Structure 1
Amino acid sequence: MEAREIRLPAFTVIGYQIEANLDELEAGLGKQAYNLLISSKDEIPHKKNENVILMQIYPMKPGFSPRVDRFTQIFGYETASTDDVPSGMIHHTVSEGKYVTYTHRGLESELGKSYDYVYGKWMRETNNEPKGFDFEIWDQRYQPDSPENEIDLFVAIR
């Protein structure tokens, strides 16, 4: 699948938020947040489906490097309402907007190649600019350690 531009309606996620850089996330912080979400998913009311959403919100500053600089990650589920947010969790609403979407195929450890393509080559070729956040949808195809793994990426664009 090639990267393509789409428009998505507003949506809300309920889950856990952490602040970290890529090195901290890869050292286990991301897996801990994911496991916490999975173990408490039945506490989240009004879930629309069982797909985990990993949202990443970046500081829009010159020279930002995700390996070094901390950014916000939200592990959650899309919900139909923000009523009754469980203790210790947050809700985050994303307004309607434009995105580039791309499906990463292969090991999760190779996901950086897909992000490099979207944020690099695709943005340059289409004269688009990132808006400061992206998200992934981990559905039934999510098998991080398998070459059959598929993750849908959505990068917000201006």
Structure 2
Amino acid sequence: MESTAHPVSPIVIALPSMTVAGISIEANLKQISEELLGRKAYETMLSRREELPEKQSPHLHLVQIYPLKPGFHAQVDAFRQIIGCLVPEGTEPPEGMTVHTLPPREYVKATHQGPESELGKTYDAIYGQWMQKNGRRPDCFDFEVWDDRYRPDQEDNEIDLYVALAKL
């Protein structure tokens, strides 16, 4: 039986800049899935998050940074993912980790409900239908918050998605 995963009421919100420290990978979605790169980075970050004593939240964040390239396609083209924690700006990363600061931006925020394997449907709804319907364009990054509701293989999984919007 197919899940009824869908975004929950997308809204536009403005967020200040934020800095994430964590494990970085560079690959396309096919490689991330087939080589379990995301799962390995997630497990590494879980085991190392205490190395970030000034983290601002216990939750993990997945930041995805896309190249500004015509015809970019995440299944084929490599992009950067960082799985980490929010930290104060200026934080020096422990060895083997990276730090990245996201600029202040407006985001479309939605909640994915259902297994993580169906997350693409929620992203497609935001990047496709929502952007077109609302006359907006995405910027070159987005992020997810993996909090206490994050149960990737379960039907009751929930992930908050934040897709950066290009400035008007």
Deviations 1:11-30 (A, max 9, x none): 11110111000011112011
Q: Percent same amino acid at aligned positions?
A: 47
What is the CA–CA distance in structure 1 between the aligned matches of 2:135 and 2:92, rounded to whole Å?
42
Contact 2:92 2:99 in 1 (8 A): no
CA shift for structure 1 position 44: 1.1
Deviations 1:116-147 (A, max 9, x none): 00000000000000101000000000000110
Look up the match of 1:82. 90
Q: How many residue pairs end up in the alignment? A: 158
What are the within-5 Å matches in structure 2 for residues 5-154 of structure 1?
5-27=12-34, 28-154=36-162
| Between 21-30 and 117-126, the greater mean CA deviation after superposition | 21-30
| Residue 5 to residue 24, structure 1, CA distance change in 2 (3 Å) | same
CA shift for structure 1 position 82: 3.2
Unaligned 5+ segments in structure 2 are: 1-7
Unaligned 5+ segments in structure 1 are: none
CA shift for structure 1 position 85: 1.7
Query: Where in structure 1 do 4 or more consecutive aligned residues deviate above 2 Å?
Result: 80-84
Contact 2:144 2:159 in 1 (8 A): yes
What is the CA–CA distance in structure 2 between the aligned matches of 1:147 and 1:43, rounded to whole Å?
32
What is the CA–CA distance in structure 1 between the aligned matches of 2:97 and 2:53, rounded to whole Å?
12
Look up the match of 2:164. 156
| Residue 81 to residue 157, structure 1, CA distance change in 2 (3 Å) | closer
CA shift for structure 1 position 84: 3.7
TM-score by length of 2: 0.91
Contact 1:14 1:82 in 2 (8 A): no
- Amino acid aligned to 1:41: R
Deviations 1:60-103 (A, max 9, x none): 21111111100000010001243342111111111111000000
What is the CA–CA distance in structure 2 between the aligned matches of 1:84 and 1:134, rounded to whole Å?
23
- Amino acid aligned to 1:102: A
Three-state SS of the structure 2 residue aligned to 1:67 is coil
**What's the RMSD between the two structures over aligned residues?**
0.9
Contact 1:45 1:84 in 2 (8 A): no
TM-score by length of 1: 0.97
